[in-house]
Amino acid sequence: MSETLSCGVLGAGSFGTALASVLLENGHDVTLWCYEPGHAAEVNAEQRNTRYQTGFALDGIKATDDLETATKGKDLVLFVSPSHVTQGLAKAVAPHLDGTGLLVSATKGIESTGETMDEVLRMALPEHLHGRLAYISGPSFAFEVLGHKPTAVVVASRDEAIAERVQRAFATSYFRTYRTTDVVGVELGGAVKNIIAIATGLCDGLETGHDARAALITRGLAEMSRLGAAMGASPMTFMGLAGMGDLVLTCCGDLSRNRTVGMRLATGMTLDEVTASLGGQVAEGVRTTASTRDLAKKLGVDMPIVEAVWRILYDGKDPKGTVNVLMGRPLKSERE
């Protein structure tokens, strides 16, 4: 059993709910910060998330809509906010952080200006907090975590002692945690896999077959690894939970929002219609496609699948025609 911690979870969506439940399971004191009006009062009254993953009890949860209450004096603060609001959220909570607690991010995405969540948090938070940062990633659907299905994730921090403390804080009989110091690799794997999942959903929606899906996953891993190499990540990270593990889950699982985006686009729905159909849930891959494409161009990294998804999402290209373009690219070595 790990040390008992007071924890603030910033984000009451599906995954925030799942990670809050893991912390509760470990006997930690958990406060869940809710952004939507009235949501905190509902959670406190019902002891479950009344708007996301409603079928699971959160016995002992305390909810609040006040950031200071959620973060001041906490031993662990967990960011599970959409990537595009993380910077503003971090700036808002910074005055309440005393520099002794663990700061953990489970957000998967790349900012519109090209920064990973690690870079976003390091820009938004004062320097004396940077050594407290850690990141959780890996194949983990919220529904399955809440249902206590066996799950394994990885915790990354530049300080291995911090990674180990976070690892212990979240480890349960059904939620296994590994650790690494490769923050860049873990962050990139968690972000780029969502783009490849959109591509896979498009192909599944077009009924291109299992061969196509396997090819997309494999070549998507190659693109992810190339970007990682250009940014100094370890190649082995992409063979692990934050790379291949999360990629396979998000590309093949029916619970994947990003795969769902691709499948619905393949039916002829517009991006706005698909986004509205998600019922308030966020598919991070939509925004991350644009930011990753820009980052790849800046670094001179060839990412044809990312480029193809961008053309479908933002340039109005026909999904079937775009698949044909990918298949017709010049022949080359598999390692290129």
Residues with catalytic function:
193
What tokens appear for 88 in the block? Answer: 């503003």
Written in H, E and C, the secondary structure of the chain is CCCCCEEEEECCCHHHHHHHHHHHHCCCEEEEECCCCCHHHHHHHHCECCCCCCCCECCCCEEECCHHHHHCCCCEEEECCCHHHHHHHHHHHHHHCCCCCEEEECCCCECCCCCEHHHHHHHHCCHHHHHHEEEEECCCCHHHHHCCCCEEEEEECCCHHHHHHHHHHHCCCCEEEEEECCHHHHHHHHHHHHHHHHHHHHHHHCCCCHHHHHHHHHHHHHHHHHHHHHCCCCHHHHHCHHHHHHHHHHHHCCCCHHHHHHHHHHCCCCHHHHHHHCCCCCCHHHHHHHHHHHHHHHHCCCCHHHHHHHHHHHCCCCHHHHHHHHHCCCCCCCCC
Q: Which residues contact 240 (CB under 8 A, 6 or more apart)?
A: 154, 178, 180
How far is C-alpha 203 from the chain's CA centre? 22
